[in-house]
Homo-oligomer: A and B are copies of this chain.
Amino acid sequence: MEIPVIRNVLEANDKMAAQLRGLFAARGILVLNLISSPGAGKTSLLERTLTDLAPEFRMAVIEGDLQTDNDARRVAASGAQAVQINTEGGCHLDGNMVMQALGALNLDGVDILFIENVGNLVCPVEFDCGEDAKVALLSVTEGDDKPEKYPLLFNLAQAMVLNKVDLLPYVDFDVQRAEKFATMANENLGVFEVSCRTGEGLEGWYNWLRARRAAKKPA
């Protein structure tokens, strides 16, 4: 009973995502969809990135949460444009929500649009939001078995940010094991070991962003 329903929803979403993709392509905006468990550090990564790369790029953020506008307020403190979507119980963002959110953003001159999805390692993965790439975040406190247990995200993502490496001395987390399963799911996955708390390792992530941004230069 459930499967055909989900297919219809996904098909409808794919059409909306294609519209979004065309809209972003026409403006030459690089769009990244950040997906992780709750608390892996998506907002913290954005706070760092929006601040550190502000001299290089104009950036905007769509924040997805069940409720509250805490995260939009956090990222807006960097000076970037931010809009909050409250899903009111919904477990993922979809193309319709992103299209609605665009009405509240001025896209003129925007180089990079970040979509911070609802904290959830499962449901957001299947809902295309018109992004150029999905970025998976994983934190070392979640356990090194997560890429093995949730492979679809790592299969579909183009980068994995392994966050909270400053906590490695205090947890039982085998970085090699996690990265082995993540890259088994996707051998082209870019992997960046960082701490958004200390700033360690962020330059590799920034270089990946710069390269993706350069490849997307508008016509």
Closest residue of chain B to A65, judged by CB? B149
Also in contact, A66 and B141, with CB within 8 A (given A9-B1, A122-B123, A167-B171): no
- Partner among B2, B123, B126 whose Cβ is within 8 Å of the Cβ of A9: B2
Q: Mark A137-168, 1 if CB is under 8 A from B, else 0.
A: 00101110110111110000000000010110
Contact check, A150 vs B66: say whether CB atoms are below 8 A apart: yes
Q: In chain A between 24 and 49, which residues have their CB closer than 8 angstroms to a CB of chain B?
A: 37-39
Query: With A91-B91, A149-B66, A150-B66 given, is the CB distance from A142 to B9 under 8 Å?
Result: no
> Which of chain B's residues has its CB closest to A67's CB?
B149
**Is there an interface contact between A150 and B38, defined as CB atoms closer than 8 Å?**
yes
Query: Using an 8 Å CB-CB cutoff, how does the interface string of A178-197 with B read, 1 for contact, 0 for none?
Result: 00000000000000000001
Asked if A119 CB lies within 8 Å of chain B CBs, one says yes
Are B149 and A38 neighbours in the complex by a CB distance under 8 Å?
Answer: yes
Task: Give the residue among A39, A90, A120, A142 with the most B Cβ atoms within 10 A.
Answer: A39
Chain A residues at the B interface, C-beta cutoff of 8 Å: 1-2, 5, 8-9, 12, 37-39, 65-68, 70, 89-91, 118-123, 126, 139, 141-143, 145-146, 148-152, 164, 166-167, 170-172, 197
> Assuming A38-B146, A39-B142, A120-B121, what are 18 further A-B pairs, CB within 8 angstroms?
A37-B37, A37-B38, A37-B142, A38-B143, A38-B149, A39-B143, A65-B149, A68-B149, A91-B91, A91-B122, A119-B121, A120-B120, A122-B123, A139-B141, A141-B142, A141-B164, A167-B170, A170-B170
